[in-house]
């Protein structure tokens, strides 16, 4: 039963079907299987397979296999331009549904576009520009049928915060606008690059816990910033932290306008009520969708009719008519503020990408179709790159508009084209109607939209399920509130990375016992019915063994042995003869891990303890073989399962002759 000849398959690639039988105590034969090595592969083959697993886990080119050149060309068009995939099957029935949903989300997109531009400290007209060109680009490149594209609160907040900390949008409006367009360019470049090079896993570092805390903190900050419009104030702090904002509010109490406050409170109550009705009864989704536009129209009429008595209510004023003017000549590509534009673009781009892909996948799951994350990154990135050249700032898929789009019965991305058409009509003919629109209405629309970002139930679930995730959530929340938006996000990402490192460097280990009447071995602390096997200590390692955790694992195994020996002495049980490490969950091992295994084996040999490995994976076996570590284990050192190891070693011990006294 030598390890090298009997139970470990060579690298020839032949199937391991050989087995042999050993008697056990109940005279039933025990089948002990060989532990196979994986088929031989060259270094180049291994590298190719690894790169494919990292960058192409979904095998996006599988449709192209065994196809003619013409078919491959058509599939290529559909791959890069999804419009060619659904376009040929488009019909009037689908168009009817898309027209209804398109005009429905336009009623929400127009007031939100103006409001979110104000949130980013940009001219209101830029918000409408950003609701026209990007949806058209996405309708050609995007793969989600229900994603409604346009400005969003989080990206607007981050851009406004990061830029206004360095450049004043009131004192240098042209420079501020140039930096906003430039940040949009770099956001698009970053997003498209992630998709093209298939590096979407980078955004996974923004965990759900991080985003829950970040969005809640951002929602509070955004709402506090809207106090300027809600109270009718003129002077207001440019800082975003909660303490400076509250200080500014109470330092300028003499600027509060009672007319503005009354109008703001009334319309805020109206918007929140319609939102609540739509949330409780999805059939009335159109209430929350139409209420922002209804509020804009009604408040504009009130101010226009009472303009002689409403001097205290600030209005938007003149908005120029016409299509998006080109803005390539406004890109700030050299100068001292270029690093600021790059940093702002990357941060806002990551957040926009995270929200857009998450929203797209959410509604795709509801309708049972798939959204290609990397293609979405490229679509959103190219959309923003085109947008920065046509007076648009960072856009992505909005959850609120996408939810309305879904509930309104959208069937394809044509709903985005319909929405863009409605915005086009507004830009060409309806802009003068916004002259008397009160700024307080924009504030109430923003507050209503961002309140939905505060998810108490999600935070409570994090507390119940994972305390470290909850800590990341809280760090993100308070970091945004009391430090700054980008630093709060950085702190939260840092906590998430620390959690990953903690799991890698301090993996779970445990003592296993046998479930009576079975050959199953499970953790003794989880299964109270599991029993220890005399003379054996069976340990499970639940992580890859790397340089980062190899020392810890060696110390932890030795501690498990010491604690077990102390327990045996206290209970006067049979002493340990063999330590079995169940390596089922050890997916890989590096040179440091191999050295640790060998050092542990030598240490146990000196203590007359046998070390056995059970069920090592193919990657682990290959590396143990190539490092010649397998030979050092000698006879009966590697087994396919824990039960086979226990039975075989117990049988071997029984065959050993007793030494004469």
Condensed to tens digits (0 to 9), the pLDDT of residues 250-270 reads 887 887 888 888 888 999 999
Q: How confident is the model at residue 330 (pLDDT cuts 50, 70, 90)?
A: very high
Residue 79 lies in a domain: no
Q: How confident is the model at residue 30 (pLDDT cuts 50, 70, 90)?
A: low
Q: How confident is the model at residue 238 (pLDDT cuts 50, 70, 90)?
A: low
Q: Could you tell me which of 563, 518, 568, 572 has the C-alpha nearest to residue 539?
A: 563
Q: How far apart are CA 300 and CA 127, in angstroms?
A: 19
Q: How far apart are CA 605 and CA 595, in angstroms?
A: 15
pLDDT of 657? 60
Q: What is the pTM of this model?
A: 0.77
Query: Which among 387, 415, 438 is the end of a domain?
Result: 438
Does residue 358 surpass a pLDDT of 90? no
Q: How confident is the model at residue 634 (pLDDT cuts 50, 70, 90)?
A: low
Hey, what are 575's tokens?
Answer: 């002493």
Q: Could you tell me if 434 and 512 lie in one domain? A: no
Q: Could you tell me if 183 and 326 lie in one domain? A: yes
In tens, the pLDDT along 173-211 reads: 999 999 999 999 999 999 999 988 888 777 777 778 888
In tens, the pLDDT along 73-97 reads: 888 888 888 888 888 888 888 899 8
pLDDT of 24? 44
Q: Could you tell me if 186 and 316 lie in one domain? A: yes
Does residue 1 surpass a pLDDT of 50? no
Q: Could you tell me if 94 and 204 lie in one domain? A: yes
Hey, what are 37's tokens?
Answer: 């090595």
Query: Which among 438, 471, 489 is the end of a domain?
Result: 438
**For the packed helices 153-164 and 485-505, what is the interaxial angle rounded to 10 degrees?**
110
Residue 514 maps to which CATH number? 3.30.750.24
Q: How confident is the model at residue 29 (pLDDT cuts 50, 70, 90)?
A: low
Residue 133 lies in a domain: yes
Q: Could you tell me if 423 and 544 lie in one domain? A: no
Q: How confident is the model at residue 635 (pLDDT cuts 50, 70, 90)?
A: low
Q: How far apart are CA 422 and CA 433, in angstroms?
A: 15
481 vs 594: which has the higher pLDDT: 594
Q: Could you tell me if 181 and 305 lie in one domain? A: yes
Q: Could you tell me if 206 and 323 lie in one domain? A: yes
Query: Which among 421, 438, 455 is the end of a domain?
Result: 438
In contact, 496 and 472? CB cutoff 8 Å: yes
Residue 378 lies in a domain: yes
Q: Could you tell me if 344 and 196 lie in one domain? A: yes
Q: How confident is the model at residue 20 (pLDDT cuts 50, 70, 90)?
A: very low
Does residue 406 surpass a pLDDT of 80? yes
Residue 125 lies in a domain: yes
**Which H or E run contains 42?**
none
Q: Could you tell me if 290 and 386 lie in one domain? A: yes
Note down the domain range covering 160: 90-212+268-438
Strands 578-582 and 610-614: what pairing? parallel
Cα radius of gyration (the chain): 32
- Quick one: 12 exposed, middle or buried, by C-beta within 10 A (0-12, 13-18, 19+)? exposed
Q: Is 544 helix (H, G, I), strand (E, B) or coil?
A: coil
Phi/psi of residue 190, each to 5°? -65, -45
Q: How confident is the model at residue 17 (pLDDT cuts 50, 70, 90)?
A: very low
Q: Look at 379-383, 414-418, 571-575 and tell me which has the smallest mean pLDDT.
A: 571-575
Q: Could you tell me which of 386, 394, 384, 329 has the C-alpha nearest to residue 180?
A: 394
Residue 191 lies in a domain: yes
End-to-end CA separation in angstroms for the chain: 30
Residue 50 lies in a domain: no
Residue 445 lies in a domain: no
Q: Could you tell me if 434 and 511 lie in one domain? A: no
Does residue 18 surpass a pLDDT of 60? no
In tens, the pLDDT along 128-144 reads: 999 999 999 999 998 89
Q: How confident is the model at residue 658 (pLDDT cuts 50, 70, 90)?
A: low
Cα 405 to the center of its chain, rounded Å: 23
Q: Could you tell me if 163 and 302 lie in one domain? A: yes
Q: How confident is the model at residue 373 (pLDDT cuts 50, 70, 90)?
A: confident
Residue 196 lies in a domain: yes
E strand spans, 322-457: 396-397
pLDDT of 308? 66
Does residue 8 surpass a pLDDT of 70? no
Mean pLDDT of the chain: 85
Q: Could you tell me which of 210, 237, 213, 235 has the C-alpha nearest to residue 224?
A: 237
Q: Could you tell me if 642 and 520 lie in one domain? A: yes
When divided into structural domains, the chain yields a total of 2
């Amino acid at each position: 039963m030598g390890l090298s000849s009997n139970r470990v398959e060579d690298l020839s690639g032949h199937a391991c079907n050989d087995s042999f039988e050993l008697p056990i105590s109940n005279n039933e034969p025990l089948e002990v299987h060989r532990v196979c090595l994986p088929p031989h592969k060259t270094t180049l083959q291994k590298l190719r397979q690894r790169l494919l697993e990292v960058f192409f886990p979904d095998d996006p080119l599988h449709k192209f296999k065994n196809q003619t050149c013409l078919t491959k060309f058509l599939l290529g068009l559909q791959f890069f331009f999804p419009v060619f995939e659904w376009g040929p099957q488009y019909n009037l029935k689908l168009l009817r549904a898309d027209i209804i949903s398109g005009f429905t989300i336009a009623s929400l997109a127009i007031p939100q576009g103006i409001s979110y531009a104000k949130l980013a400290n940009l001219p209101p007209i830029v918000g409408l520009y950003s609701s026209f060109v990007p949806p058209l680009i996405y309708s050609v490149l995007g793969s989600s049928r229900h994603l409604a594209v346009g400005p969003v609160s989080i990206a607007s907040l981050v851009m406004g915060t990061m830029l206004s900390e360095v450049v004043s949008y009131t004192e240098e409006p042209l420079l501020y606008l140039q930096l906003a367009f430039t940040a949009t360019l770099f956001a698009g470049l970053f997003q498209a690059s992630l998709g093209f090079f298939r590096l979407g896993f980078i955004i996974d570092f923004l965990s759900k816990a991080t985003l829950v805390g970040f969005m809640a903190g951002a929602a509070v900050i955004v709402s506090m910033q809207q106090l300027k419009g809600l109270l009718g104030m003129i002077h207001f702090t440019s800082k975003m932290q909660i303490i400076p904002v509250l200080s500014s509010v109470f330092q300028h109490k003499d600027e509060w306008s009672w007319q503005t406050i009354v109008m703001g409170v009334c319309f805020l109550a109206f918007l929140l009520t319609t939102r609540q009705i739509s949330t409780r009864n999805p059939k009335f989704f159109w209430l929350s969708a139409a209420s922002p536009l209804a509020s804009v129209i009604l408040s504009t009429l009130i101010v226009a009719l009472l303009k002689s008595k409403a001097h205290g209510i600030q209005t938007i004023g003149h908005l120029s008519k016409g299509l998006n003017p080109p803005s390539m000549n406004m890109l700030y590509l050299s100068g001292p503020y270029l690093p600021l534009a790059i940093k702002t673009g990357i941060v806002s781009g990551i957040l926009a990408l995270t929200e857009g892909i998450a929203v797209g996948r959410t509604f795709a799951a509801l309708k049972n179709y798939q959204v290609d994350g990397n293609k979405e990154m490229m679509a959103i990135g190219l959309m923003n790159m085109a947008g920065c050249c046509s007076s648009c700032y960072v856009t992505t898929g909005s959850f609120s508009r996408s939810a309305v789009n879904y509930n309104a019965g959208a069937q394809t991305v044509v709903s985005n084209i319909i929405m863009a058409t409605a915005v086009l009509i507004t830009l060409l003919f309806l802009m003068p109607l916004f002259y008397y629109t009160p700024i307080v209405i924009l504030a109430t629309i923003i507050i209503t939209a961002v309140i939905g970002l505060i998810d108490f139930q999600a935070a409570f679930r994090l507390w119940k399920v994972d305390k470290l995730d909850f800590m990341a959530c809280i760090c993100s929340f308070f970091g945004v509130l009391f430090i700054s938006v980008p630093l709060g996000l950085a702190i939260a990402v840092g906590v998430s990375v620390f959690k990953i490192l903690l799991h890698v460097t301090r993996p779970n280990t445990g003592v296993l016992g046998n479930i009576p009447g079975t050959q199953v071995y499970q953790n003794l602390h989880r299964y109270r019915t599991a029993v220890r096997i005399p003379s054996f200590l069976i340990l499970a390692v639940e992580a890859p063994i790397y340089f980062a955790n190899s020392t810890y694992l060696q110390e932890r195994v030795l501690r498990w042995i010491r604690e077990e020996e102390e327990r045996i002495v206290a209970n006067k049980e049979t002493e340990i003869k063999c330590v079995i490490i169940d390596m089922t969950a050890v997916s890989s091992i590096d040179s440091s891990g191999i050295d640790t295994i060998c050092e542990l084996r030598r240490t146990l040999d000196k203590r007359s303890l046998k070390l056995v490995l059970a069920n090592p994976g193919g990657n682990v076996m290959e590396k143990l073989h190539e490092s010649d570590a397998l030979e050092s284990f000698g006879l009966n050192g590697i087994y396919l399962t824990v039960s086979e190891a226990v039975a075989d070693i117990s049988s071997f011990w029984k065959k050993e002759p007793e030494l004469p006294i």
